Amino acid sequence: MHKIALSSLAALACSGLALADARIDLGDAQRVTRLFAFPNNCHVICYRNWTLEQTVEHYLTQSVQRDGHANAKVTVSREHERLHATISEVPASYAEPLRQLLDSGELAYEGARRLNQDGKWAYDWYLFLPLGMALQNRRSIELLHFPPDYSLTQAQDYLRSNTTDRWAELLTFNGIEASQTPAYQTIIDIAPIAAPASAGATLTDTYSYFQDYQVRMVREMTDAGAAKPLPMVAFGAPVRSWIQQQYGPKVDVLGLASISPQPGAQVPVLGSNHPSAIWYTADKANHGGDEDAADAAGLKMMGQDLTAACWQAGMGSNPEADPKETLQACSNKWQVTQKKQTCELFFRTVRSFTPEQAAAKCNTGETSRSLRDLKKPVEVVPREL
């Protein structure tokens, strides 16, 4: 069980909120079908031949496990064409965040319907809500562009993608145990469309259709009740631009801002590169074949990414921390005092060096110089962005 979940469950016990059964009316079969992207993976032959009930059970089981409820059991039944979910061994309040997500999903569906009416929906797109993530024990929010289609059709896991896998690894480099990273990776995609990784440019024209969904999700997902709002990381240029258009502040890479999704709430937002951007920034083909230039650009971005993940880990672990001081400490760590470790992690994770090869590479004069001396690379738009 997640350490985060253990502390949360202990708090529940101390507050007198006993674990029980949470039951929620999901709606009729038509509603559940569209909100759970059913069938998830059928092209004549189904990759996983699940019923609608099994599909819902799958995603809700992911959520309860990522919330730390190891003994919880999800059962979905159909009564007079309405589906009900019963979740055992969770707080009775557990149904509320699920209900909020599905109600927000109706706004996403309406946006997708209008997009299709206007002839802008592609045949290989799927409406895909952020299913299967932590519903209660969230630590931070990740604002991204759109989920790649294989997260739905192959993995049936919103957190299974090259993007999320890489960022989870960066969180572990910053002290978060691998089993706990899902609590930090509650994702809001401003385009709730599972699409081929090459669809990024096309999807930028869809944002206005999902405005009601977007602002509601940001408001509800960052709300931590009586505690301070959850911190949020905005990944990639399109997402950072959306923050500016929607809330006002301009957020550059490692730029810090505060937004107010609802009266009285101040959500700290950190700008970041897209998690997959480093693969393109560090591709020597984007530097005229110059491998040294590609390494330099990649090292710079690695320092930025580790710094952003450090801030997310720090603020998620301690919501009372000062966002600016946390960012300064993280920048100093990864871009100054531990720049050699930054270098080694780049060559290990991006260049696939062995630890010994990375250490040897980073001991050379060219690669061990301060990351601050490297020229800032142009942010390359990756296919998944």
d(C-alpha 81, C-alpha 60), whole Å = 20
Distances (CA, A) of 163 to 127, 145, 200, 273: 19, 11, 14, 11
Closest CA to 174 of 307, 68, 335, 300: 307
DSSP 143-172: EES--BHHHHHTS--TT-SHHHHHHHHHHH
Start-to-end CA distance of the chain, whole Å, equals: 32
Compute the chain's Rg from CA coordinates. 21
pLDDT tens per residue across all 385 residues of the chain: 333 344 443 344 333 356 778 999 999 999 999 999 999 998 889 999 999 999 999 999 999 999 999 999 999 999 988 999 999 999 989 999 999 999 999 999 999 999 999 999 999 999 999 999 999 999 999 999 999 999 999 999 999 999 999 999 999 999 999 999 999 999 999 999 999 988 988 999 999 999 999 999 999 999 998 789 999 999 999 999 999 999 999 999 999 999 999 998 999 999 999 999 999 999 999 999 999 999 999 999 999 999 999 999 999 999 999 999 999 999 999 999 999 999 999 999 999 999 999 999 999 755 555 344 444 444 444 434 4
CB-based contact 230:320 (threshold 8 Å): no
3-state secondary structure of 141: strand
DSSP 250-308: ---TT-EEEE-SSTT--EEEEEE--TTHHHHHT-GGGGTT-HHHHHHHHHHHHHHHHHH
Residue 44: predicted pLDDT = 87
Residue with tokens 């001991």: 363
Residue 375: predicted pLDDT = 41
Does the pTM surpass 0.75? The reply is: yes
d(C-alpha 250, C-alpha 19), whole Å = 43
Burial of 35: CB neighbours in 10 Å, binned 0-12, 13-18, 19+: buried
- 230 DSSP assignment: P
Tell me, what amino acid is at 285?
A: A
d(C-alpha 88, C-alpha 65), whole Å = 12
* E runs forming strands in the chain: 19-28, 42-43, 45-46, 74-79, 82-91, 126-127, 141-144, 186-189, 193-194, 232-235, 256-259, 267-272
- List of domains in the chain: 1-96 (no CATH), 138-373 (3.40.470)
